[in-house]
Amino acid sequence: MERWQKVAIVVLAVVTVVFASFSVGFTLGSGDESVLPFSSSNEGDVELIEDAYEKILSTAAEPPDRDALVRGAIKGMVEVLKDSNDPYAFFYTPQGFRSFQELTTGKFSGIGVWLKQKGDDLEVVSVLPSTPALRAGLRRGDVIREIDGAPVQDMTSDDAVARIKGPEGSEVTLGIERGGEPLEITLTRAEIDLPNLISRSLQQDLGLIRLFGFARGAGEQVRAEVRNMVTKGVKGIVLDLRDNGGGLFSEAVDVASTFIEDGEIVTYKARGENDVTYDAEGDAFEDLPLVVLVNEGTASASEIVAGALQDQERAMVIGTTTYGKGSVQQVYPLADSSALKLTIARYFTPEGTDISGSGIKPDVVVDSDPASQRERAIEILQGIVISTSGAQG
């Protein structure tokens, strides 16, 4: 048996025991076997898995590839975990893990769309400018049915994204449904420089910042853009978090701290560990009028920001109820450059609210098209700016 396969089998047993006891905070693939919580029962689990592995390879009429067999075992365990208590658990192949890492840097090779799972459908929610998707005519609301002939209904959203991405210059064919009509579009993948945000000026000295995600540097970029806007005389900002599926936990704290001077941002609760509360980091634009736009695609890190701003009465939240993902995932690299994504903690808003499954309810519900939501947000912000100016004058 290859060395990495033995390590992977050991990891399988460790993960089984870890989740049986509901403990978290472990590290995999470190090469330090002293951190693995083995006992006699754990060794029995390892022997059982090794025994099944060897039997398949030695007796099956047509044994599978060794690597595929090990990864299949990991996938099976992840599926059990997903069915029991962790719907966000996922196994990344080495290629999938590389794709995930690219997303946290803001650079990847693909077609340039934001996607979200909507029931059983994989829907395009945004098409980035100057990308293959825009040039090919993909639109918001298109539903992807097939990727290179494979039905999307048989994939997880992570699987689908991994299939759509690929080497620059390679092609991918999407079967889509638009307005009930089937279409087939072939796109040539390109290097995508994913912006964390775009911004623009609105009427009456107002500004809009649309935050697409929370890749590295998002907090610093938001702060720099707000500072630039204030220097130019902007008196209020619309922070648009619609269809923002989240990203790095630390960047969410940084973004919220751009607007909150003092107080709690979020509380992180992991099983078997003391709760950790993350406070605002100071040097905030505390007096700048702010409204936040959200919708059902606002999830995870963006809900941390929206929840903190709402609970601290720092901003008015406008739109529709958010997705409701109140958990934190950690990605653990494995010995063969694949990885496991596991839920390790839950987070709570400053008022102690668990948003899992329920989401954040807006202060002002605007359940209509995106343009109407934005217009209503601008209208409310104008009123706040006028009220604040009058109070100061």
How many distinct structural domains can be found in the chain?
3
Last residue of a domain, one of 16, 50, 85: 85
Q: What's phi and psi for 147, nearest 5 deg? A: -125, 115
pLDDT by residue (tens digit) across 132-168?
999 999 998 899 999 999 999 888 777 888 889 888 9
Q: What is the mean pLDDT of residues 223-242?
A: 97
Q: Is the same domain home to 22 and 144?
A: no
Which position among 300, 336, 338, 341 bears the catalytic label? 300
The pLDDT tens digits for 326-375 are: 999 999 999 989 999 999 999 999 999 999 999 999 999 999 788 999 99
Tell me: do 122 and 255 sit in the same domain: no
What is the residue-averaged pLDDT of the chain?
Answer: 84
223 and 171 in a common domain? no
pLDDT, residue 376, reads 96
Whether residue 54 is found in the same domain as residue 126? no
Domain that holds residue 185: 107-193
Q: Are residues 322 and 365 in the same domain?
A: yes
Q: Are residues 202 and 184 in the same domain?
A: no
Residue 181 has pLDDT above 60, yes or no: yes
The helix (run of H) or strand (run of E) holding residue 266 is strand 264-269
251-262 confidence digits (pLDDT tens) = 999 999 999 999
Give yes or no: residues 255 and 315 share one domain. Answer: yes
92 located within any domain: no
* Active-site annotation holder among 99, 142, 199, 325: 325
User: In terms of domains, do 35 and 78 share one?
Assistant: yes
Asked whether residue 113 falls in the same domain as residue 78, the answer is no
Single-letter code of the amino acid located at 255 = V
CB 319 within 8 A of CB 278: no
Q: Is 158 a catalytic residue?
A: no
Domain-located, residue 36: yes
Contact 194, 213 (CB under 8 A): yes
| pLDDT value of residue 43 | 66
Is position 178 within any domain? yes
On the question of pLDDT at 37 being above 70, the answer is: no
- 66 in a structural domain: yes
The answer to whether 325 is a known catalytic residue is yes
Q: What is the pLDDT of residue 126?
A: 75
Q: Determine contact, residues 298/244, Cβ cutoff 8 Å.
A: yes
pLDDT of residue 377: 97
Q: Do 113 and 74 sit in the same domain of this protein?
A: no
Smallest Cα–Cα separation from 178: which of 147, 151, 140? 140
Question: Which residue is listed with tokens 């590295």?
Answer: 216
Residue 171: which CATH number? 2.30.42.10
Spatial distance between the Cα atoms of 202 and 236, rounded to a whole number of angstroms: 10
Residue 176 in domain: yes
Per residue in 39-89, pLDDT tens?
A: 345 667 788 888 998 999 999 999 888 888 988 999 999 999 999 989 889
Residue 339 lies in a domain: no
Residue 157: the pLDDT is 74
Residues 130 and 272 in one domain: no
Least confident segment among 18-22, 58-62, 72-76, 243-247 = 18-22
Question: Catalytic pick from 243, 311, 336, 338?
Answer: 311
* 94 located within any domain: no
Q: pLDDT tens digit string along 295-337?
A: 988 999 999 999 999 999 999 999 999 999 999 999 999 998 9
pLDDT at residue 30 is higher than 70: no
Q: What are the residue ranges of helices labelled H in 92-171? A: 94-105, 132-136, 157-164
Is residue 277 situated within a structural domain? yes
Look at residue 135 and give its three-state secondary structure.
helix
Whole-angstrom CA distances from 393 to 13, 127, 386, 390 are: 67, 43, 10, 5
Residue 174 CA to residue 123 CA, distance in Å, equals 12
Residues 220 and 117 in one domain: no
CATH number of the domain within which 364 lies? 3.90.226.10
For residue 344, the SS3 value is strand
